[in-house]
Amino acid sequence: MVLLPVFVLVGLTFALLLGMMRTRRGDTGGPNRATQLADCYRDQFELPVLFYLLIALALPLRRADLVIVMLSWVFVVTRFAHVGIFVTSNDSAPRSTAWLASALVLFAMWLYFALKLLLLI
């Protein structure tokens, strides 16, 4: 079950890639829209990389429990919110709030994972 949020986030990344390619070909939007989608796409290779790494470590170490799965879904939802704001209004205040929420959830996941691993619980 922990891989499903990963697949959803990967799907979001590919959807942004396709949207960016379509916009760059000149089908929709314009240069500003192409830049906006490119920036949003590039953002998927920053914070989410730490999420992918955590899951890649948690699976073979058998630490991907219900807490990790639930926090993974919260992380994915916050990423969708961030992307939604990024590609629509691009208002920096709510976009920053969504980004911060995803960062805090990811930090909680890493803290939980580290404590679980180090304390052998």
What's the CA gap between 84 and 77, in Å, rounded?
10
Q: Where are the domains of the chain?
A: 3-118
pLDDT in tens, 63-75: 999 999 999 999 9
Q: What is the pLDDT of residue 27?
A: 61
Number of H helices, E strands in the chain: 5, 0
Average pLDDT over residues 94-120: 96
Residue type, 28: T
Sorted by sequence, the CB contacts under 8 Å of residue 17 that are 6+ apart come out as 41
DSSP per residue over 70-109, as a string?
HHHHHHHHHHHHHHHHHHTT--HHHHHHHHHHHHHHHHHH
Flag whether pLDDT at 30 surpasses 70: no
User: Tens of pLDDT along 35-65?
Assistant: 899 999 999 999 999 999 999 999 999 999 9
Q: Which CATH class is domain 3-118?
A: mainly alpha
Reported confidence tier of residue 29, pLDDT bands at 50, 70, 90? low
